[in-house]
Structure 1
Amino acid sequence: MSVIDQDRYFAEMAQIAEALGADPIPSSRTKARQLFGAVRPQLRSDERTREVAHIPCLRNLRRACWPSPCR
């Protein structure tokens, strides 16, 4: 998917997220990366996290979103 298509996807999903009351809402690929960069230091990993991480359908998503494992 091109960067332009990715940004369009984020903009479309932002409209849905806003309607559902989500906050914060990244409206582009760049803003999503900035948001994840800002919240990443607040994330933690525990037994529940590891259990969810082993769900097969989420493995590819994890690799796509985070090139290196979260610690």
Structure 2
Amino acid sequence: MNLFLKIFGILILVAIGTGFYFRIQGEIILGDRIIGIAVLATAFILMPIFLVIRWRGKKLEDYTLSDKNIKKMRDKGID
């Protein structure tokens, strides 16, 4: 899955570069569409998959500020 993320990320960067290339060549509408699709793919496909992979196997309660974690911080002397 990490290989998929790397390849997909590179493809998105290539698409953004291609979009700017078309903008420079005078095809502004086509360039804007390519850039827009790449940004949407980043926001709605790449980012959620990345977050799922990074959070897999982790407990959310370890990262939230609960009474248990506040007590643990006070016991360690972190205020």
Q: Which band: TM-score by shorter chain? A: 0.3 to 0.5
Larger Rg computed on CA atoms: 2
TM-score of the superposed pair, with normalisation by structure 2: 0.31
More helix by share: 2
TM-score of the superposed pair, with normalisation by structure 1: 0.34
